Structure 1
Amino acid sequence: MNKQDIRNKIKVLRNNYDVNDLKTKSLKITNAFYKKYSCLNIFLLYYPIENEVNTIPLIDRLFVEGKEIYLPVVYDKYMIFKQFEGFDKLKAGKFGINEPAGKELDSLPDIMCIPGIAFDEKCNRIGYGGGYYDRYLAVENTIIKSAFAYEFQIIDKIKTENFDKAVDEIFTENRIIIRRV
């Protein structure tokens, strides 16, 4: 299967899943992440769409604890990260995804959570096809790169291209997959 076929297949699976089941799986995933990384201070997270792993409870928890949280803001061919200042201050951006209006990230973050459609055991990723995260990571490549995925999003093998950027680890509801270099 090519990347678009994989995207279509996983999106159908994800959109047909029971919402309450996905909510339970999301909490397991984000709680495991929190347990491992709550000691950090600067987080690049994402606002969930289309039944992605729900990061909203994690964002809220870290925000209440006084952590710095940044979410992506998408422009034509690139994205930046702006500070999250509360859910009431988010506005729909380019793709209808909620984006913050806070200050732009101007320091090195501790960790980045990257969304995706599919992943493999080597921590390769298929995103939505816009290349925003791959372009961002081509410049900012020293950050710890985590991804959140449901087990059914883990596939045997992803054919990668030179510009594709792998993540360091993938949190699922059952395990943490660590990239072997």
Structure 2
Amino acid sequence: MTTMPADAPVTPSPRKAALRAAALDRRDALEIDDRLEWDSEIAARVLALPVWESRGPVSAYWPMRSEADPRPILEALHDRGLPLCLPAIVDKHMIFRRWAPYEPIVPGGFGTLVPAPAEPEAKPAILIVPLAAFDRRGYRIGYGKGYYDRALAELGPTVSIGIGYGAQEIEAVPDEPHDRRLDWIVTERETIRCG
């Protein structure tokens, strides 16, 4: 599998852009009450995965727009004693900074919130990632910048878990050589072991 340099631009794929837009439209159309209920179901499924023997840091993301909300997962993992971190983009590169529930977060660009720049960096052993669209093979479409694909390539052996809603599933992501397949995809409906 080809690894992209951290600052390599991702060439936009018109096919992926169309699939992304359609999947985001479906996600945005979901009722908020349903999404709140489904977030709880997703959290229960993720917390039941057989991956938590790792004591290394777990990274998730701060949700934006209508993304599945990983914060209940993070709070439960924090209660279990696992160290947490959140991603931040620095000089077009995704890094991870230590964070715990209720600690301060600051605007991080792209509409995200991130730990303060003074927080120490961490190397996650488990990465919970957002999905714009996904397929059952474990390929995802994100927002088109390639940050997660590069991060997964750079981190080396890492358990990767994509979370989203069943409405975001598509038949096949047009995967490219730099795309990284996820280990798991979890929706409100099911847990999919990929690869």
Gaps of 5+ in 1: none
- Structure 1 residues 12-64: Cα deviation after superposition (integer angstroms, max 9, x where no partner): 11111100101111111111111224544321111111111111112222223
Structure 1 letter corresponding to 2:149: D
TM-score (normalised: structure 2): 0.85
Tell whether 2:169 aligns with 1:154: yes
Query: What secondary structure sits across from 1:82 in the alignment?
Result: strand
Give the C-alpha shift of residue 115 in structure 1.
Answer: 1.1
Please name the residue that 2:127 is paired with.
112
Check conservation: 2:64, 2:111, Cα contact below 8 A: no
Give the C-alpha shift of residue 87 in structure 1.
Answer: 2.8
Higher relative contact order (CA 8 A, sep 6+): 2
What is the RMSD of the two structures over their aligned residues, measured on CA atoms? 1.6
Please name the residue that 1:11 is paired with.
24
TM-score (normalised: structure 1): 0.91
Query: What secondary structure sits across from 1:165 in the alignment?
Result: coil
Check conservation: 1:91, 1:98, Cα contact below 8 A: yes
Please name the residue that 1:122 is paired with.
137
State the identity %. 29
Please name the residue that 2:120 is paired with.
103
Give the C-alpha shift of residue 88 in structure 1.
Answer: 4.1
What is the CA–CA distance in structure 1 between the aligned matches of 2:35 and 2:73, rounded to whole Å? 15
What is the CA–CA distance in structure 2 between the aligned matches of 1:6 and 1:61, rounded to whole Å? 33
What is the CA–CA distance in structure 1 between the aligned matches of 2:126 and 2:134, rounded to whole Å? 19
Q: How many residues align?
A: 178
* 1:49 equivalent among 64, 72, 79: 64
Gaps of 5+ in 2: 1-13
Structure 2 letter corresponding to 1:103: P
Please name the residue that 2:35 is paired with.
22
Check conservation: 1:85, 1:100, Cα contact below 8 A: no
Check conservation: 2:74, 2:101, Cα contact below 8 A: no
* 1:76 equivalent among 75, 91, 96: 91
- Structure 1 residues 47-91: Cα deviation after superposition (integer angstroms, max 9, x where no partner): 111111111112222223332001001123211000113334111
